[in-house]
Amino acid sequence: MKIIHKLFPVGHLVISLLFIGCAIALICFAGIQLWQGIQPVSSLSLPQRLNAVLESIALLTVAVAALELGQTIIEEEVQREAQMSAPTRVRRFLSRFMIVLVVSLSIEALVAVFQYSHETPAHLVYAACIGLMAAALLVAWGLFIRLNQGAEQLEPEAMEQAKREDREVQEDSKGE
């Protein structure tokens, strides 16, 4: 059973590397999309160019989310020794994930507003739904943090261990 347990960090590392690979691919696609939009010799109309730039921003937003998830998994699951079953670790991981998700959805909502306002204003309701989902997630995340303050006070040693690991990870990152 211990052998299987030791395979989990390897699996997490592979997943993180795949997230990073996907992010690099999305960055490349965004660069191509941007170039198609701003290419001076292109015969695209101004709205088509704007759409290409907005699509590039949307791709970059997803790329940032993929990079952040890859980094989070590496830092929380591969570099750290504590298990995810610890409530402090779960709260930290969830908070990092929620930050990425809320920011990505907010940017996606802005891109959708610009895109739909020029192409099909009737679809602005979909952009509003994305924005509302981002707001709802932010409120739910804030409520989660508020309700978990008591749990953090019950396990100060876990918080201290997490802070110690943070310092170690930061020192490792600076040394590379």
pLDDT tens-digit series, residues 50-79: 889 989 998 999 999 999 989 888 887 777
Question: Percent of the chain at pLDDT above 90?
Answer: 35
If we measure between CA atoms, which residue out of 26, 50, 27 comes closest to residue 38?
A: 50
Q: Are 60 and 26 in contact (CB under 8 A)?
A: yes
Q: pTM of the full predicted structure?
A: 0.72
- What is the domain count for the chain? 1
In this predicted structure, the answer to whether residue 114 has a pLDDT above a threshold of 80 is yes
Could you give the CA distance from residue 155 to residue 164 in angstroms, rounded to a whole number? 15
Q: 70: domain range?
A: 2-175
With tokens 């310092």, the residue in question is: 167
